[in-house]
Amino acid sequence: MSRDLFGRTKEARQRFALRAPKIKVSENDVEKGCLDILRLKGYMPVRQHVGLFKTPNNCFIRMGVPGDPDWIAVRHPSFLVEVKRPGGAISEVQLRRHAELRLYGLEVVVVESVEELLEWLRRFEHSP
């Protein structure tokens, strides 16, 4: 059985080896970063309150149009932002609604990271 300079076996080295923790990025993490970028670039992010909400008396109410994006980035020109966690899937309802909004000439972007938003903004802000 081979040992290293400190007398440890291969098994012992593997068991106690330092490993980088697996970082899980949530949708909220992505959202916070994207909102910071939008504000720094002079946009005013406005939350779209869409979905099912629980009232104080334990009833549920549905608000907004199903599939609407999470945020409106207000400035001229404005656009809509849907934020997903990395690897998160967009629903069929969202796909249909985003297509409908684009028919009205609105820009809709779906992002999974701050870098993705920055890349999209670079193209969007420099388009004619």
- Per-residue pLDDT at 117 exceeds 90: yes
Quote the pLDDT of residue 19.
77
Query: What is the band of 1 on the pLDDT scale with cuts at 50, 70, 90?
Result: low
Asked if 71 and 47 touch (Cβ cutoff 8 Å), the reply is yes
Asked if 111 and 82 touch (Cβ cutoff 8 Å), the reply is yes
Give 47-91 pLDDT, tens digit per residue.
999 988 999 999 999 999 999 999 999 999 999 999 999 999 999
Percent of the chain with pLDDT strictly greater than 90: 75
H helix or E strand, kind and range, residue 29: helix 27-40
Report, as an integer, the average pLDDT of 3-9: 79
